[in-house]
């Protein structure tokens, strides 16, 4: 966390303004809701998406009264998706803290997520930008559509890599891309710059999620703040497993873990170790490196500045993070 704070030092004041706006958004009359919302927004998030909005606005001049609510909206939207994700996945930990679904009924958790979606939409609307509001709505539909697709997709370990890439665009990269695109739009950047920044956000988001999926096999549980192998326990096949199956498709344990209700924790741990010790991890890492390189290449021709350097440094940091 300290490392990313140092990377974001050039936009520290802007991020502080976003924090103030986020705190305003959770100052609600219902004390219990306020008690729930404050920890959600103070739970150790890196504020990557608001930072992307701010950084993408720096190549032209943006009005802070537009920029701050926009940056707050993407963080609120992200937080709302985490609340719903944890419920759908049955997760009990997020960033080392118990999730809402360990303390509240499912209906209440859904409503907390819905409230955050509404606050996010309210902040997006405060920009008074029709293109921004349109992108916000399209991104929300993409994220929800991706979640629905995952919930109703019975492919399990038989999913293709194309399915996987579409899934991680829907759940992660779409919001990264929306953050950089809308940041450019509110600064009235020309279309060429908007496209370059959206491409940066897209590729950064793809690399980010692939590395997340690698860490689900290789990470340290204390650093991750949740158990490794979460995707396997939810019967979700991510890139490391798909690459493992390409290398060695004959392992019956994969179909057993995914298809047999009696698959035990020991079986899941065995599969984690098999994938972890295989060349699949290095291959998945190479994919993340490819997307990172594409992200950096997308902004290569933008004017050199300390903010562009932050974006380049951020890409490297996210690729090498351990949590």
User: Confidence class of residue 43 from pLDDT cuts 50, 70 and 90?
Assistant: low
Give the structural domain span for 250: 13-311
Residue 323 lies in a domain: no
Tell me, what's the pLDDT at 323? 77
* Among 207, 267, 216, residue whose Cα is nearest residue 237: 216
Structure tokens at 264: 């035990």
Tell me, what's the pLDDT at 154? 63
Structure tokens at 173: 């990269």
pLDDT per position as a tens digit, 142-157: 999 998 887 777 667 8
What's the rounded Cα separation, in Å, for the pair 142 and 167?
A: 10
Beta strands in the chain (DSSP E): 93-94, 97-98
Q: What is the CATH number of the domain that holds 287?
A: 1.10.600.10
Radius of gyration for the chain, computed over Cα atoms and rounded to the nearest angstrom: 20
Tell me, what's the pLDDT at 118? 95
Residue 1 lies in a domain: no
Residue 321 lies in a domain: no
Give the mean pLDDT of 76-95.
84
Contacts 24+ apart (CB under 8 A), 2-5: 3/317, 4/46, 4/48, 4/314, 4/317
Residue 90 lies in a domain: yes
Tell me, what's the pLDDT at 224? 80
Residue 265 lies in a domain: yes
Residue 29 lies in a domain: yes
Between residues 247 and 307, which one has the greater pLDDT? Answer: 307
> How many domains, in total, are found in the chain?
1
């Amino acid at each position: 966390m300290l490392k990313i704070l140092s990377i974001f030092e050039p936009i520290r004041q802007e991020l502080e303004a976003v924090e103030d706006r986020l705190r305003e958004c959770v100052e609600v009359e219902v004390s219990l809701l306020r008690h729930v919302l404050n920890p959600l927004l103070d739970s150790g998030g890196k504020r990557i998406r608001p930072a992307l909005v701010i950084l993408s606005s720096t190549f032209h001049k943006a009005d802070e009264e537009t920029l701050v609510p926009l940056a707050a909206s993407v963080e609120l939207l992200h937080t709302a998706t985490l609340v719903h994700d944890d419920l759908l996945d049955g997760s009990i930990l997020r960033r080392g803290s118990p999730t809402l679904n360990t303390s509240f009924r499912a209906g209440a958790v859904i409503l907390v997520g819905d409230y955050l979606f509404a606050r996010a939409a309210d902040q997006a609307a405060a920009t008074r930008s029709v293109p921004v509001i349109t992108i916000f709505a399209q991104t929300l539909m993409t994220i929800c559509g991706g979640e629905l697709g995952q919930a109703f997709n019975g492919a399990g370990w038989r999913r293709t890599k194309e399915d996987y890439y579409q899934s991680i665009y829907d759940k992660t990269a779409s919001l990264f891309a929306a953050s950089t695109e809308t940041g450019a739009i509110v600064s009235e950047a020309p279309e060429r710059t908007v496209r370059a920044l959206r491409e940066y956000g897209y590729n950064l988001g793809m690399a980010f999620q692939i590395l997340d999926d690698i860490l689900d096999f290789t990470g340290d549980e204390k650093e991750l703040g949740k158990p490794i192998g979460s995707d396997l326990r939810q019967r979700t096949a991510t890139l490391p497993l798909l690459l493992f199956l390409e290398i060695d498709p004959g392992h019956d344990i994969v179909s057993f873990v995914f298809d047999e209700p009696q698959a035990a924790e020991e079986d899941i741990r065995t599969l984690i170790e098999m994938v972890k010790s295989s060349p699949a991890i290095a291959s998945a890492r190479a994919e993340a490196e490819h997307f990172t390189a594409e992200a950096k290449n997308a902004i290569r021709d933008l004017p050199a500045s300390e903010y562009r350097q932050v974006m380049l440094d951020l890409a490297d940091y996210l690729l090498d993070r351990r949590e």
